[in-house]
Structure 1
Amino acid sequence: MKENLLHFIWKLKLFSVNNLCSTLGEKIQIISVGTENFNSGPDFLNSKIEINGQLWAGNVEIHLNSSDWYVHQHEIDENYDSVILHVVWNHDIDVFRKNNNPISTLELKEFVSVELLDNYKQLFNKKKHWINCENSIETVGSFTIKNWIERLYFERLEQKANYFQEVLNTTNNNWEATLFVLLAKNFGLKINADAFLNTALSFDFSILRKVAHNQYQLEALLFGQAGLLGENIENEYFKQLQSDYNYLKVKFKLVSISKNEIQFFRLRPNNFPTIRLSQLASLYYKFQNLFSKIIEIEHLVDFYAIFNVSTSQFWETHYTFNKESKKSTKKLTKSFIDLLLINTIIPLKFMYLKALGATDYTSVISLIEQLKPEKNTIISKFNELIIKSNNAFETQALLQLKNEYCSKQLCLQCAIGKELLKP
């Protein structure tokens, strides 16, 4: 038996509530289990318990053993003076208040079904599984899963919004600047995400606005701040970028990041940082007020139109500065745009709507549901467990489920785990 399971049993009243009695023989009727307390103090606050016909309002403390009350030194902590019921699994000692009156104690093991305990043992079987419930998740009702999926997606949105808020704070509440920083991070993909983020944060967004009308200077700013213009390469394009960057560096007192932060290793050529930075420059050369644009539109086809950008001409025949390649137009693909929508645009729209006081996020849900389901190992494993995904809304929710619940063994806080535990 673990204490978190006791909390779970008490919170959901997963025990026989008829004929409850304390260790002293007092009749107990639970009017309200109270509100779970995640801070210091008793485990459940504002509970209402009827003991021998008298209604008590106060707090409930939960322990495995009654003697834990003294192990944790609650007898000298005034926060526990308001405890009206001590709920334990095993009663091994009487517990007294400061006035020497005993605290009513409920020994739960007398009232919990064997079936619930068996379900718990099965769910937390010591055998290694990808997720604890992989052998039983298919028995959970579709209604439970559907509602949990929706909650998980909004939970994921809230987490992203919290990070976005930190970025917004660094830009002095400039939404356009925040969008640029977040897009830059996503253009870097997983390998160069931090390097691109540092590049975007290494200069004030107002500088980008001042040079955005000149594509050469815009590329020079991004390549230079990324530390990619420090070498001596003999081609006209590179020399032009160097010249423009040296001018910008002096004019705006710029300090670039280290070149070592940018990685080419293990990347497909189309994902090389040179290509992605040129595409990002093209996007801001095309739209100087990008945030205003994306907030206005709601249809997927319009987003694809906005992000229909490619590299500058030089990169049509290059992947790096010093080696020529076969000519090809390097546009942002639909799959890459989908990633930008999933990881940046949609969460930022949600955050902006929330900042405006909105309570209806139908437009956000409608947009994410139009996107195809993501493809990765986590989604593939859920598919094997007959938890199929029809769109990106569901795959994002499943990623949240795996990373924040399954991997952390938080089955008692998961709707699926709760369903499987109930007798």
Structure 2
Amino acid sequence: MSVAHLKTTQHETLEIVSVGQHNTNSGPDFFNAQLKIADQLWAGNVEVHVKSSDWFVHNHETDQAYDNVILHVVWEHDTEIFRKNNSIVPTLELKEVVDKMVLLNYSKLLSAKDKWINCEADFAEVAPFVLESWLERLYIERLERKSETIEKLLQDSKNNWEAVLFKMLAKNFGLKVNGEAFFSMANAVDFQIIRKLQNNQSTLEALFFGLTGLLDQDIQEPYFLVLQKEYRYLKRKYNLHDTEVVPIQFFRLRPQNFPTIRLSQLATLYHLHSSLFSQIMEISSLKTIYKLFQVSTSVFWETHYSFGKVSKPSNKKITKAFVDLLIINTIIPIKFAYARHQGKDVNDFLLELIQQIPSEKNSIVSAFNKIKKVSHTAMQSQALIQLKTTYCDKNQCLKCAVGNALIVK
């Protein structure tokens, strides 16, 4: 029996006009569904159970939240359900509707043992069109999730988009190892203070280095002592609280990713660009973004990676690969969130932008590529992260386009 020829247990024709909204809280499973039952249009809620009798097991007959249920969807219909006016609640029994092969495929998928993902053995069989369109949707879904985080930052920053951008950039300048430390540093200072100090690069460095505890040492080096003295002054003047800032880590970091280098680059960026958010919102090409982030450290760090130890001179300019990470994790998400906030749709532009950036390299992407070479761009690598963490790890195969393709094949 096809979906186009559904019938209730009372042998009335059933057409699903709209499934409504899935409810993840208490109450019926779907709100505001629209159905045609025997040519009569109904609008209301839908409840789903394994057996019809589960209605009584869950005491729905005494709960007013279920008075507006227009359809009861069950695997097995073992008893009639009545409304308070004694009319029967229409029921759709799935046992005779679902194709036996579909059920077998689903059982096979969920019974996979010792697999990285449930569909590991069959992932490569999925049609390219299905996979490509699903990855695009997953990427937008990931942006939507990040947008929620940005909205929370916006509320905390009293609708100051420049402050939100600074916090996001700070976190991503810290990468995985120091991301939380840099983020806590950004949260420990009012962005208006950053604005006031932007004209002086060394003062910004003193602020960043001081907040992160990098000046809490006894080092007799002229530049260190200058920064230390400056930070003590700033701390008193602005009543700064650095006790809640997460400690900085140097362990297992390459010298170019040392927090000293990244904080100096961040200070340079904000010294050179007083209205960074506005500039990023106006950007319309990848080339312009790379140009905007062509910044280096202050002069002192050209011969140092840490205080107290001189190194071979080098211009520690932000690399293209690092800018790519900033584009993926900060610039595109904040452009997406801002567009949504303004009621605009920039999805096509952002998809075009992200697909110009090479795929990220991480354990999730590598594992998928071993099954099937699928990640060539950053859009695909971001989508695969979303797929693994939101669907595969939670056995959400029925909500996944790949899972559905394998179940109904």
The answer to whether the superposition gives a TM-score over 0.5 is yes
Q: Return 143-152 or 358-367, whichever deviates more.
A: 358-367
Structure 1 stretch displaced more, 321-330 or 86-95: 86-95
Partner residue, 1:345? 331
- The verdict on how the C-alpha distance between 1:362 and 1:110 changes in structure 2, with shifts beyond 3 A counting, is closer
> C-alpha separation between the residues in 2 aligned to 1:194 and 1:67?
50
Identity in percent = 51
1:298-319 deviation per Cα after TM superposition (whole angstroms, max 9, x unaligned) = 2222222221111112222222
Aligned to 2:390: 404
Q: CA RMSD in A?
A: 2.2
Distance 1:82 1:286 in 2: 61
The structural deviation recorded for 1:195 is: 0.9
SS where residue 178 of structure 2 aligns? helix
Is the Cα–Cα contact under 8 Å of residues 119 and 421 in structure 1 kept in the other structure? yes
- Counterpart residue number, 2:366: 380
Question: For 1:153-208, what per-residue CA distance to the aligned partner results, in whole angstroms no more than 9, with x for missing partners?
Answer: 11111111111122222222222222111111111111111111111111111211
Partner of 1:254: 240
Matches within 5 A, 1:58-207: 58-207=44-193
Which amino acid is 2:35 matched to? K
Aligned to 1:235: 221
With over 3 angstroms needed to count, the CA separation of the structure-2 counterparts of 1:170 and 1:125, relative to structure 1, is same
Measure, in 2, the Cα distance between the counterparts of 1:191 and 1:409.
Answer: 30
Distance 1:91 1:269, change over 3 A: same
Q: Give the structure 2 partner of residue 29 of structure 1.
A: 13
Residue of structure 2 equivalent to 1:6 = none
The 3-state SS of whatever aligns with 2:208 is helix
Report the alpha carbon displacement of residue 42 of structure 1 after superposing the two structures with TM.
2.7
Check 1:104–1:290 CA distance in 2 against 1; reply closer, same or farther (3 A cut): closer
TM-score computed with the length of structure 2 as normaliser: 0.92
1:267 corresponds to which residue?
253
The CA deviation at 1:219 is: 0.7
> Is 1:15–1:113's contact at 8 Å kept on the other side of the alignment?
no
Does residue 1:325 correspond to 2:347, yes or no? no
Matched AA of 2:12: I
Q: Distance in 1 between matches of 2:287 and 2:16?
A: 51
Residues 1:288 and 1:40: Cα distance change in structure 2 (over 3 Å): same
The alignment status of 1:276 with 2:281, answered yes or no, reads: no
Checking the alignment, whether the CA contact within 8 Å between 1:16 and 1:112 is kept in structure 2 is no
Inter-CA distance 356–86: structure 2 relative to 1 (3 Å threshold):
closer
Report if aligned partners of 2:47, 2:72 keep a CA contact under 8 Å in 1: yes
Code of the residue aligned with 2:153 in structure 1: it is: V
Matched letter for residue 410 of structure 1: Q
* Alignment partners' CA distance in 2, 1:354 and 1:60: 31
Structure-2 change in CA distance of 1:94 and 1:358 (3 Å): closer
Amino acid at match of 2:296: S
Amino acid at match of 2:389: N
| Counterpart position of 2:33 | 46
The amino acid across from 2:238 in the alignment is F
Alignment match, 1:421: 407
Provide the C-alpha distance between the structure 2 equivalents of 1:127 and 1:103, rounded to a whole number of angstroms: 40
CA deviation profile, 1:95-142 (whole Å, cap 9, x unmatched): 333345554444321232210111101111241211111222222222
Distance 1:294 1:400 in 2: 25
Output the CA distance in 2 between the equivalents of 1:19 and 1:32: 9
Q: Distance between the aligned counterparts of 1:43 and 1:253, measured in 2?
A: 52
Q: Which of 280, 284, 302 is the matching residue for 1:294? A: 280
> Which deviates more from structure 2 when the two are superposed, residues 348-357 or residues 402-411?
348-357
Which is further off, 31-40 or 396-405? Answer: 31-40
- Contact 2:34/2:41 (<8 A) preserved: no
Q: How far off is 1:83 after superposition?
A: 3.2
SS in structure 2 of the partner of residue 261 of structure 1:
coil
1:165 and 1:280 map into 2 onto residues whose CA distance is 23
Residue 83 and residue 167 in structure 1: after superposition, are their counterparts in 2 closer, same or farther (change >3 A)? closer
Pairing 1:355–2:371 present:
no
Distance 1:31 1:412 in 2: 21
1:283 alignment partner, SS class:
helix
Task: Say if 2:8 and 2:90, in contact at 8 Å, map to a contact too.
Answer: no
Q: Which segment drifts farther, 306-315 or 229-238?
A: 306-315
Q: Deviations over 1:334-372 (max 9, x none)?
A: 111100011001111122222222224333222211111
> Residues of 1 paired with 2:193 and 2:88: CA distance?
71
Contact preservation (8 Å) 1:310, 1:329: yes
Mean alpha-carbon deviation: is it higher for 266-275 or for 40-49? 40-49
Change over 3 Å in CA distance of 1:137–1:82 after alignment to 2 = same
* Ranges in structure 1 where 5+ consecutive residues have no aligned partner: 1-13
CA contact (8 A) 1:30 1:49 kept: yes
| Residues 54 and 158 of structure 1, relative CA distance in 2, 3 Å threshold | closer
Distance 1:349 1:54, change over 3 A: closer
Partner Cα distance (1:279, 1:207) in 2: 18
